[in-house]
A = this chain, B = another copy of it.
């Protein structure tokens, strides 16, 4: 019984969209195909190397397609697949939640709520913060 499929598919979803920049990449691509340079500007703070890497992973996961126009200088665009679109749609409530609560979250990050019996500051770390 302990090896049964879990009731919640969050682990599976996170296996696809997990990565520091992937959620934002998905958000931006959901509004239409984008060139590499567009994404670089829209996903503020991402390095070229990591952007390329995570785009490739998303492509490998069938979430987006990379279309190379075989030009010099290079010209490449990235488009959501139908599968990817369903994921982006499932991410929208989280996006909205974050937008609505952005001020509260910023405040909490500045001054985390005192945790009973411990009051060290929170490190939310590498993988998800910007």
Selected from B90, B100, B128, the residue in CB contact (under 8 A) with A18 is B128
Chain B CB within 8 A of A14 CB: yes
The reply to whether A125 and B61 contact each other, CB–CB distance below 8 Å, is: no
Determine the chain B residues whose CB is within 8 A of the CB of A106 once the complex forms: 12
Query: What total of chain A residues lie within 8 Å of the partner, measured CB to CB?
Result: 68
The reply to whether A124 and B18 contact each other, CB–CB distance below 8 Å, is: yes
Question: A: which residues have CB within 8 A of B?
Answer: 2, 5-19, 23-24, 27, 44, 56-57, 59-62, 66-68, 83, 86-87, 89-102, 104-106, 108-109, 112-118, 121-130
Of all A-B residue pairs in the complex, the 6 with the closest CB atoms, nearest first, are: A18-B128, A9-B98, A13-B98, A9-B99, A127-B127, A90-B97
